[in-house]
Structure formats: structure tokens, C-alpha cells
A and B are shown apart, each in its own frame.
Chain A
Amino acid sequence: MSTLKADTIVASDGTSPVTLTKQEATKQWSSWDGVNNDIEGSLNVTSVTDEETGVYTLNITSAYSSQHDRCIFTTLYNSNDDGATVESGSARAMSTVVVGTNSNNTIDPLTTTTIQYSTAYGSTGQSDGGMLDLCKVWVTSIGDLA
């Protein structure tokens, strides 16, 4: 088996990115504790700003080339109910994580260096889907960097 040892790989022109055939690397991922406002692990993340209860702005270190041409994935976990995504004692549906929406249900403009996301209760006829902080929110994004 041959092994190529190098610290940096670029295209033959010396500057352009090298082609990874049929592969696309993840450009950002983060594990966010919204209760304690703590980034537990991350790639290409400078900070996460706690805007208000359940609303956060993720600040990206190396910018994307476009504010729109990227794919963002999210998943959450609520330890208050051993993983079920409702608050203990509430008969609500699942909590949700939404990209780009704040507590006023308005969408902040996307930028190449930020992702705003929010976490909320599930809702029923009696209880609305108000914002809440959750202890685990994972945000991953893929696209072209600048």
C-alpha cells in the first residue's frame, strides 16, 4: 500500500482547492449547550451568541462563499425528560429547532458568517410553542467556503 505524506494539499496551480472525487467535507459542526451557554465541541465556529431564551446566533470562523448555497442540519435533545423532547409534566408535542427564526417569528437575514437558530416547545391547543433553552443542540452545515 502506498502512503502519501503531506501537510497541505492544493491543486497543481498552487492555490486552488484539490478535487475530492464524489466527496464533500462538512464545513461546520457544533454541539451547543443552550442551558449553560457552552460550546461543547465544534469545527469552524468562533462563538455562539445567546440572543434570548431559545434563540442563538452561531458565528462562523471561515465564511461561506454564499449566504444561501449551503445545507444546514439540526438535531436536539432535552435532558429534562430523559431525552423526550417535552418539558416534564407537559402534554405537548415535540420540541423543535428552527434555522433562521427568532422569538418574534421573523427571519433574520442569512449571512455568510452566521447561522441563527431557535429551539421551542412543541405545542397543543392549550400551550403554545414558546421558546426554551435545551441542553443539546447540534448544528451541521455543508457548502462552499469563500
Chain B
Amino acid sequence: MSEIITDKLTGKTSAGNVTITSEGGSATMQLQQGLAKVWVFSTDDVITDSLNTSSSTDVSTGEYTITLASAMSSTNFAMCGSVNENNNLIVGRKSNTTSSYNVRIKNTSNSGVDANTGSSVHGDLA
């Protein structure tokens, strides 16, 4: 097996575009577009571990603002998340900018609840 050891990958024609081949070999996709741009695990509003975040702010019970270190190119990114505790469910984001999104957690009575959460963001970086 050949192996390339390098610290950085850059597109030759376009710096932000490196194409990779699918597992089955019949399709190609852009490497950058498939990478998660944010992932974060929080204990209530405190970030335990993360990628591309700078802070988490406690807005209210069951609502936190996650601020990104490197911004997205638009507000139309996809976010997914889950709650790491029983009897609570994550709702999603209340609002977002290119550099932040709000995670809201509600229980089955639709009341805000503080809880451990995990979330990730998929889309294009600026």
C-alpha cells in the first residue's frame, strides 16, 4: 500500500476542491463538502469537546448559542443533534447566522430543559 504523508491537502485547480472516489467506484464527490464542519458535545451549556467552535452561551433554560471559530459561507447549512439524557428530545436551532446557531431542547411537554447534547453542522465554510 502506498501512503502519502503531508500536513495539508489543497486543490490544484481550485484550492477548495479536491475530488475523491466513492467506495463502490462509480461516483465521485468533493472531499470538502462531505466533511463535518462543526461537531460539539456539551454538558448543558459548557462545551466538553468540539471541532470549530469558539464558545457556548446559555441563552435560557434549554437553549444555547454555539459560536463557530470559522464561519459558514451561508446560513443555509444542515444541523443535526441529539440529547444524551432520558426523557428529553432535541428540537434543533431557533435561529442562526453564518457563525452561530442556537440549540433548543424540549421535553415531551414542550418545556425547555437543560441537558447534555451533541450536534454537528454540514455545509460549506466561507
Does the CB pair A40–B22 fall under 8 Å? no
With contacts A17-B20, A43-B34, A62-B22 taken as known, whether A136 is within 8 angstroms of B29 at the C-beta atoms is no
State how many angstroms separate the Cβ of B85 from the closest Cβ of chain A.
15
Residues facing B in A60-99 (CB within 8 A) are: 62-63, 65, 73-77, 82-86, 92-94
Asked if A26 CB lies within 8 Å of chain B CBs, one says yes
Q: Which of B31, B77, B94, B110 contacts A25 (CB 8 A)?
A: B31
Asked if A34 CB lies within 8 Å of chain B CBs, one says no
The binding surface of chain A is classed by DSSP as loop
A74 to B120, CA, bound (A): 11
Q: Return the chain B residue nearest A43 by Cβ.
A: B33
Q: Which of A48-56, A102-110, A125-133, A138-146 contacts B (4 or more CB under 8 A)?
A: A138-146
Does the CB pair B8–A73 fall under 8 Å? no
A75 to B120, CA, bound (A): 11
With contacts A3-B10, A41-B77 taken as known, whether A146 is within 8 angstroms of B91 at the C-beta atoms is no
Does the CB pair B110–A9 fall under 8 Å? no
Asked if B76 CB lies within 8 Å of chain A CBs, one says yes
Point out the residues of chain B lying under 8 angstroms from A20, CB to CB. 20
State how many angstroms separate the Cβ of A57 from the closest Cβ of chain B.
17
Interface size class, chain B: 35 or more
Residues facing A in B1-46 (CB within 8 A) are: 1-2, 4-14, 17-29, 31, 33-36
State how many angstroms separate the Cβ of A39 from the closest Cβ of chain B.
9
Residues facing A in B29-86 (CB within 8 A) are: 29, 31, 33-36, 74, 76-81
Point out the residues of chain B lying under 8 angstroms from A2, CB to CB. 5-8
A77 to B81, CA, bound (A): 12
Does the CB pair B25–A17 fall under 8 Å? yes
A43 to B108, CA, bound (A): 32
Asked if A8 CB lies within 8 Å of chain B CBs, one says yes
With contacts A27-B29, A83-B95 taken as known, whether A12 is within 8 angstroms of B2 at the C-beta atoms is yes
Point out the residues of chain A lying under 8 angstroms from B22, CB to CB. 17, 62, 65, 144-146
A58 to B122, CA, bound (A): 17
Q: Which of A6, A17, A63 contacts B11 (CB 8 A)?
A: A6
Does the CB pair A4–B23 fall under 8 Å? no
Asked if A37 CB lies within 8 Å of chain B CBs, one says no
